[in-house]
Amino acid sequence: MASIFSRIVAGEIPSWKVAEDDRYYAFLDINPLAEGHTLVIPKQEVDYIFDLDEETYTGLWQFAASVAKAVQEVIPCKRVGVAVLGMEVPHTHIHLVPLQTEGDLDFRKEKKHLSPERFAEIARAIAVAFNQQTV
């Protein structure tokens, strides 16, 4: 059965998309640690990041770097933190989390509750920043 993230890529489940190309997809995490918390995935469904083939693996990090720059343009932060967990969804994904302090990357802390309008606004702004950067 397709992973929930493959179903997002296929458009069967909605997402707040921020970036896409033929091989990768980025969208807002629905339970964000901070505004702008984004997930970056390969469209190819592989559970564990270190099982990706080398080309997909390096391409994923390059794509994530471009997305992270767009996130930082939109969400004021000291750094965009990076985490790879995969404890919940068995489809490789990189978490990009805007950080003010190191505690902002603590996945045990309570998640932010954002309105659908706020998610949409953030996603749109990151998408604009991403598209301006890559054209």
Separation in Å, CA 86 to CA 49, 92, 115:
9, 7, 25
Q: Does residue number 54 form part of the binding site for ligand AMP (CB under 6 A)?
A: no
The smaller minimum CB distance to ligand AMP, of residues 48 and 100, is found at 48
* Residues recognised as catalytic: 93
Backbone angles phi, psi at 58, to 5 degrees: -70, -35
The smaller minimum CB distance to ligand AMP, of residues 18 and 39, is found at 39
Query: What is the C-alpha to C-alpha distance for residues 17 and 15, in angstroms, rounded to an integer?
Result: 6
Query: Which stretch in 52-60, 80-88, 97-105, 124-132 sits in contact with ligand AMP by CB under 6 A?
Result: 80-88
In the complex, the smallest distance separating the C-beta of residue 19 from ligand AMP, rounded to whole angstroms, is: 14
CB 18 within 8 A of CB 58: no
Q: Does residue number 85 form part of the binding site for ligand AMP (CB under 6 A)?
A: yes
